[in-house]
Structures are given as structure tokens and as C-alpha cells.
Structure 1
Amino acid sequence: MAERDRLRHRLDEGLAALGQDLPAALRERLIDYVELLARWNAAYNLTAVRDPGEMVHRHLLDSLAIAPHVSGATLADLGSGAGLPGIPLALVAPERQVTLVDSNGKKARFLREAVRTLKLANVRVIEGRVQDVPGQFDCITARAFATLADMLNWAGGLLAEGGSWLAMKGRLQEEEIAALPAGFQIARILPLQVPGSEGERHLIVVRRA
């Protein structure tokens, strides 16, 4: 089986397990993203995951698992790294304006290249600290780049009134949840079943109190 066919097969199986039916053209663009990431990763070490097939499970499907919980017209992905979950979420919802934020220069360069190569007209990249991002957003995603308290203390002001902060975590830490800063409350904690991935995954949904 050719490499792209292998990736396509893994993605199709995973989407079926998630109960998501995406158009064929969109699935091809998701594979394009994984192939671009794998090429850049060889030189720039953007992610510890080396195998593109594993990237489908641990990056693409992990990101797409939260897609049903994303809402609003604007999304900021903080500490986006290689564009996760921001780029997959931008691909599946081209009507939403997505801002990818990362302070690491080589990761920001990759993000800009991904936006150009994948023709993501709805995506902009900010290279800088989350504390310095202007504006407010209907939805904010963060994939375990800091504790909940740190993230909200640094960037809680970015969350628009009525918006949702989606924190992607592995094993739940009770002390981390208990340390939520004033002005915020946990709306829901959802276990995530990510096809092909081992270990616990959770989505913590935070809103303004």
C-alpha cells in the first residue's frame, strides 16, 4: 500500500470511529497537512511524533475529536505548535476565522508555510506570547501547553463574553481544576475517545463565571 493510501485509510477509519463524515476533498487536504508536517519535522523537529501514520492518530484525530465542541465565528489556538488543533479545525470549518499563536520562531515559520501551502484564507499566524495577542475570541483552544490556571491568568482576557475555552488534557489533575482563577468556571469535563491513541484524553470546557 502506498504511503498516502495508508494515511487515507487510517484517517477514514478514525473518522468513522468518531462518527464524522467529511467530504473526500477535505480528507485529502487533511492528508496534505500531515505530509507537509512530516517533511518539515524531519528538519525542524516540530513534534516528537515521527511516523506520519501516528500523526494521523495523535494529531489529526485528536484535534478533530473536539470539533463538535467548537462554536462561534472566531477561534484562537494558543501555543499552536505545529498547528494543533488549529489547522485541522480551520480546514473543517472554513467559515470560521482562526488565529494560530506561537512564540517559537521555527514553529511560526511552519504555520505560515502551512497557511500558504494549504491556501487557508481563514487563518492568520501570530508569532509572539499569548499575553500580547490583541482582541477577543468566541472560542479558544489550548492543547496542554500549560496548566489551566497559567493559561487563564496569561490569556483569560482573550475569551469573549459567552465564549468557550477548550483545554485539551490527558489525565485529569484534581488540583489543577481546583486552582481555576476567579472569574472562570468549568462548564463541562468530557472524556475524549481518540481512535488509535492510548492513554486518557479529556476536554475541559471553561466559561466566564
Structure 2
Amino acid sequence: MSDPAPNPLRAPLEAGLAELGLAPSLADPLLAYLALLQRWNATYNLTAIRDPQQMVVLHLLDSLAMAPHVAGLTSLADLGTGPGLPGIPLAIAHPGLQVTLVESNGKKARFLREAVRQLGLGNARVAESRAETLDEPGRHAAITARALATLPDIVAVGGHLLAPGGRLLAMKGVRPDEEIAALPAGWRVEAVHPLRVPGLAAERHLVVVARGD
């Protein structure tokens, strides 16, 4: 028997991983996740992005652009994770990071549980819940949200999940100065990091929000 054809997504993914300074060995589990997402998406419509090449850039590499900023963290809650973004790619990249995938939509939560099982992600768990009703006060070193809401809304629904000294790591497109100005009392922006996503021309920023004056 001839060898199976190489996955056409491998080369662009490995090039993107190299550009982000991440190990090429991450490609196998990331491609396995993407294949599972594509299969489920055909039936359950988990993401509007259907082109596999776009999925590599807009799902995998976009999520992993923030990987350096979660290095060293013990736990992360990904609020409104949808099909597991950025939580599952981050859990793959950082095996020592405990990731809680918070998603209230039943079909997406079912997919997440299957993905965690099939990928053998012992450092990821699914919480089928809205962020504001998740009863895990002070449990997480950080929370993140990729496309959930504005910064004030994220701290309103998820701030209770943060441990003392915890941080919100919010993924945004253009620098969200109006959202930053609207943060409620008791919250402050600690840093705004421009992110470079391989294969993407659009702006990306990671906004780090902490409790404080």
C-alpha cells in the first residue's frame, strides 16, 4: 500500500508554529483537533469558518499568538470558548496549564468533551455553564475571552473566577481604547501587547487587565 497523502495543512501550520517560536511537534495534535472540528462542523455548525486553510490561521495560529503570555500560569478559564478557542490550542501548547473550557451552548459543550477525550487532554475540562453562573470563585490564575464581549462585560461576568492577583487576558483586534476607558472602578489595564499572527494582516492585541486602583 502507498503511504497516505501528506496533509496539505501541515506545511502552513508548521511554518506558523516556527514563526511563533513554538515546537513543530505541536502540529500533530493541532491537526487532529482541526480534523475533529471539521467533521463536527459539517453537522453542528460550530464555526462559520469552513475553509481549512483559514482555520489554520484564524483558529489555530490566532489562538497560539497569545501562548507566550500564558507560559508559567497554573490555570486558565476560557470564557465563551465556542469550539475550544483559544483554550484547546493553548492546552495543547502548555501541558502544565489547567484549562477550563466554559461554554453554555449544549452542542458546543458536547463537541468540547469529545475533543478533550479524543485528544487525551488531561489538562483540560469542560464547564457547561454561562460564565456569570460558574460557581468557581477565585479558582483561576487567569481568564481569557476571544470574542465574547467588551472588556467591562468580561470582568462583569467572569471577574469572580479570578484568584487574588489573577489577570484577564483579553484577545482583541484593534487596540480597544474605548473599552479600556470604560473599565469599572477596581480594574485597570496592566499592559496591551500587539500580537503577530502568521498569515494574518489584521491587527491583534492582547489586553491584560488586573484588579487595582
TMscore range, shorter length: over 0.9
Q: Does structure 2 conserve the Cα–Cα contact (< 8 Å) formed by 1:73 and 1:138?
A: yes
Q: Does structure 2 conserve the Cα–Cα contact (< 8 Å) formed by 1:149 and 1:176?
A: yes
User: What do you get for the CA RMSD once the two structures are aligned?
Assistant: 1.4
- The counterpart of 1:164, out of the listed 167, 180, 183, is 167
- Give the 3-state SS of the residue equivalent to 2:192 in structure 1: strand
Return 5+ residue gaps in structure 2 as ranges. none
Which residue of structure 2 lines up, in the alignment, with residue 6 of structure 1? 8
Give the Cα separation in 2 of the matches to 1:151 and 1:162. 17
Give the Cα separation in 2 of the matches to 1:46 and 1:157. 28
Closer, same or farther: CA 56–4 of 1 in aligned 2, 3 Å = farther
Closer, same or farther: CA 4–151 of 1 in aligned 2, 3 Å = farther
Give the Cα separation in 2 of the matches to 1:103 and 1:113. 16
Q: Does structure 1 conserve the Cα–Cα contact (< 8 Å) formed by 2:143 and 2:158?
A: no
Which residue of structure 2 lines up, in the alignment, with residue 126 of structure 1? 127
Calculate percent identity across the aligned residue pairs: 59
Give the Cα separation in 2 of the matches to 1:72 and 1:31. 25
Letter in 1 for 2:10: R
**Cα deviation digits, residues 36-55 of structure 1 (max 9, x gap):** 11111111111111012211
TM-score (norm 2): 0.92
Q: Which runs of 4+ in 1 moved over 6 A?
A: none
Q: Does structure 1 conserve the Cα–Cα contact (< 8 Å) formed by 2:100 and 2:125?
A: yes
Return 5+ residue gaps in structure 1 as ranges. none
Which residue of structure 2 lines up, in the alignment, with residue 84 of structure 1? 85
Give the Cα separation in 2 of the matches to 1:63 and 1:144. 11
TM-score (norm 1): 0.94
Q: Residue 188 in 1 paired to residue 170 in 2?
A: no
Give the Cα separation in 2 of the matches to 1:7 and 1:23. 13
- Give the 3-state SS of the residue equivalent to 1:6 in structure 2: coil
Q: How many residues align?
A: 206
Which residue of structure 2 lines up, in the alignment, with residue 151 of structure 1? 154
Which residue of structure 2 lines up, in the alignment, with residue 17 of structure 1? 19
Give the Cα separation in 2 of the matches to 1:177 and 1:34. 33
